[in-house]
A and B are shown apart, each in its own frame.
Chain A
Amino acid sequence: MQYQYTSEQSEFKDSLRKFVQDHYDYESRRHLAKEGNGYKAEYWQQLAELGVFGLPFAEEFGGLELDLGYLMGVAEEFGRGLVLEPMFPVLALAGRLLAAGDNAELKNELIPSLIGGELLIALASEEKASRGNPLIMATSVKAEGGELVINGEKHAVYAAPQASQYLVTAKDESGAVKVLLVAADAAGVTATEYQTVDGARASNLRFDNVKVPASASLFSGDAAASLELVIDEALLVMGAEAVGLMDQLMAITGEYLQTRKQFGMPIAAFQALQHRYADMYIACEKIRSLMWGALQTVGTAEFAESAAMLKAEIGKSGRYLGQQAVQLHGGIGMTDELSVGAYFKRLTAMDLILGGRDYQLSRLIKIRKAA
């Protein structure tokens, strides 16, 4: 029963912590979020050299083939330091989905360059109407004269502006889920790029009769189960990032309570604030426990349930913690000049992507009914 990182995982995690500490003070992060394409190619290369991108992939592709705990450790450190390099969408979502596919040729072609840091790839799965459910989609794919034709619209595709390739989910005529590799510059692709509230880059993507060869399909059969599983496993990685964010927010807020003085004393002396801080502590530990609990069920029938619980709780306790960190800072918490707001905003965005609390609750109800 794993409730903490193994010593090997910790070692790897510590190397990432050092990387983040060396590169990410809040001021430079603030600039990076606003300027250019929102990440540094140089850092991306360094992360490749540290071995981060090889973690989830099989040795045959040059990967390290290590369990999810490693990626979680990385995500925790990324959360703590508010790192903007799009490890989560590129690796935990698109990369791991790629690895789950059965198209050997595509995998051989793409995974090594992902590991090497040369390729950035984004998963285009969410739609307006899907409301968090990755299996609800209007995007369609049709076979036409040996080619596949894609039509539809995807929203909030994180890392799309930085990626050269997309993995696009679509339903074929039989209703099966397909995952298709589409080049960002393919004819018929329209991207509306934007900066997101949490400082990342994303796009809304439109596909108008976009044609890809049949060999661009990542799964020979229905990809529905793999898609759900990969997203659920990514939620564990997100959970770890949330823990990193929250631990850091707790530290910053605790320090502020003890140094900020009003009415001639540190505001930590006010019982109302002590109780609030205790509630924030509880919120943080709840998510930590749900995260480890979920990791223990990976590969079992209970995994979907525990992943949904973790994500639902991020939408509640994560939001609460972020809001209260702002509140306890008073006016200064409302500014872009202090990191607190950036942590708060990342926690806010987490509930909006990949199925918010409401969707996860509805999933839990369904899982229970089916049991």
Chain B
Amino acid sequence: MSTTDQSVDLESFRQEVRAFLETAPTPEILEAGRKTTSVFAPFKETMAWQKILNDKGWVAPSWPQEYGGTGWNIQQRYIFTQECNRRGVPPLLPQNIQMVGPAVLGFGTDEQKAEYLPKMLSGEDFWCQGYSEPGAGSDLASLKCRAESDGDDYILNGSKTWTTYGHHANKMFALVRTSTEGKPQQGITFLLLDMGLPGMEVRPIIGLDGEPEQCEVFFTDVRVPKRNRIGEENQGWTVAKYVLEFERGGSTFGTFLVPAMEQLHAVCDTPDASGNRLSDDPILSYKLAELDIDIRAVEHNEKRVNANLKHGENPGPMASLLKIMGTEVMQRFSELQLEVAGLAGLPLQNDALVVGSNVAPIGEESALLAMPYYLNTRAASIYAGSNEVQRSLLAKAALGA
């Protein structure tokens, strides 16, 4: 904690955040937080929370202040996320603030900024990410969704897939192919479009937990105005890379894992009717202790990277490390949480997981999430650069190859 801005009193900042969080979220928003079974929280309530944060001016801590950022330093940002997770509000969906926002901030015209940024912040628009395609996953640059020039428009043909919350979105930011010349990265363009344009079709995909979270999106002669382009034609790869680097030190797995682990400990320490505690079992206690170590390491990895950023260091290979460790410790946490739930993890309870459904869980409330969370968390080592790809990047950087 020694490397922070001396001018900011972090403790009083924490108190200010806490005081706000105490009263700001509605019961529905808190219920959505409790019923979050993946990185993508329940849509409606999470967007309601985004609006409240926007009204407070706290929705986009990483953005420049002139466009709605908070002006907080990186430690304050970490504290803010910590306190949000401690309070149990749903995490904001990353698409608006962390994904498309930075692209517009970095490469948009003034006109585009004025048109799009305010509604990204308020949540009036919800943006989905149209990058991946059936044939282009880890090898994103091989994407084929074609944008043909036609006067002032592009005409799109092809498809996107794994589009998270595509069925909730009214806007999409997409990478499309505008040229097949040269290296594949060189013929890609970053495009903004409305969902529901003529020729577009959205098909939700049912996930392992039985719920639709991702979508397929099909384009047949979909007309998109060229003024919706961000950056130059064929410069889309540069825009996408800029977005990835925008939030240096943005890794916050620790802020989630620490309070989640505290809750798991509490469940294990609570005596049952005959006075037995799960934590009396030496084998379970051993596993809890091992996980405690890993979570502590994740937390300090993140704080250390943040602290050193101040000295102008680039997180470099640490970004891959944080992603690998954060997601894999999260997966281990999800395994242990399921083991603790035991038999109570078996029933499918999709109805009880709907916010406002008032369907009582079968068994303990603490076990309700265990299975869907376990299943959904398997995705964490697949998305945002699979952990195999991240390990290759890390090795390459570490070996200096």
Contacts and interface: CB of A to CB of B under 8 A. Distances in A.
Interface string B265-287: 00000001110101001011001
Given A155-B363, A333-B382, A336-B206, A196 B348 contact: yes
Interface string A116-135: 00000000001011011000
Contacts of A356: 339, 342
A302 to B, nearest CB: 22
A348 B138 contact: no
B132 interface: yes
B347 A196 contact: yes
Interface stretch (B42-50, B84-92, B309-317, B384-392): B384-392
A329 B151 CA distance: 41
B344 A155 contact: yes
B96 interface: no
A155 B162 CA distance: 36
Contacts of A344: 208, 378
A323 B332 CA distance: 12
A133 B114 CA distance: 64
Specify which of B205, B346, B386, B392 lies most central, judged by the most chain A CB atoms within 10 Å of its CB: B346
A334 B379 contact: yes
Contact of A334 (B138, B272, B363, B378): B378
B137 interface: yes
Nearest to A340: B208
Contacts of A5: none
A46 to B, nearest CB: 27
A370 interface: no
Interface in B300-348: 335, 338-339, 342-348
A334 B142 CA distance: 22
Contact of B272 (A129, A196, A262, A337): A129
A194 B348 contact: yes
A362 B272 contact: no
A220 interface: no
B210 A194 contact: no
Nearest to A327: B381
* A-side interface mostly: mixed
Nearest to B286: A358
Contacts of A204: 362-363
Contacts of A348: 338, 371, 374-375
B139 A262 contact: yes
A202 B346 contact: yes
A231 interface: no
Interface in A316-335: 319, 323, 326-327, 330-331, 333-335
A17 interface: no
A131 B278 CA distance: 9
B161 interface: yes
Interface string B203-228: 00111101000100000000000000
A324 to B, nearest CB: 10
Contacts of A353: 343, 346
B281 A194 contact: no
A198 B375 CA distance: 12
Contacts of A335: 205-208, 214
Specify which of B284, B343, B374, B388 lies most central, judged by the most chain A CB atoms within 10 Å of its CB: B343
A352 interface: yes
A344 B371 CA distance: 12
B329 to A, nearest CB: 15
Interface in A258-290: 261-264, 270, 272-273
A263 B139 contact: yes
Given A195-B347, A196-B348, A361 B283 contact: yes
Interface string B223-260: 00000000000000000000000000000000000000
Nearest to B132: A331
Contacts of B214: 331, 334-335
Contacts of A197: 345-348, 371, 375
Contacts of A196: 346-348
Given A331-B161, A362-B283, A349 B346 contact: yes
B112 interface: no
Given A335-B206, A335-B207, A330 B281 contact: no
Contact of A337 (B205, B371, B374): B205
B349 interface: yes
Interface of A: 126, 128-129, 131-132, 138, 155-156, 192, 194-198, 202, 204, 261-264, 270, 272-273, 319, 323, 326-327, 330-331, 333-337, 341, 344-345, 348-349, 351-353, 356, 358, 361-362
Given A341-B208, A349-B346, 13 more contacts: A128-B272, A194-B349, A197-B348, A197-B375, A262-B138, A263-B142, A331-B132, A334-B379, A335-B207, A336-B206, A336-B207, A352-B343, A352-B346
6 contacts: A131-B342, A270-B388, A336-B206, A352-B339, A352-B342, A361-B283
4 closest A-B pairs (Cβ-Cβ)? A194-B347, A156-B343, A262-B139, A336-B206
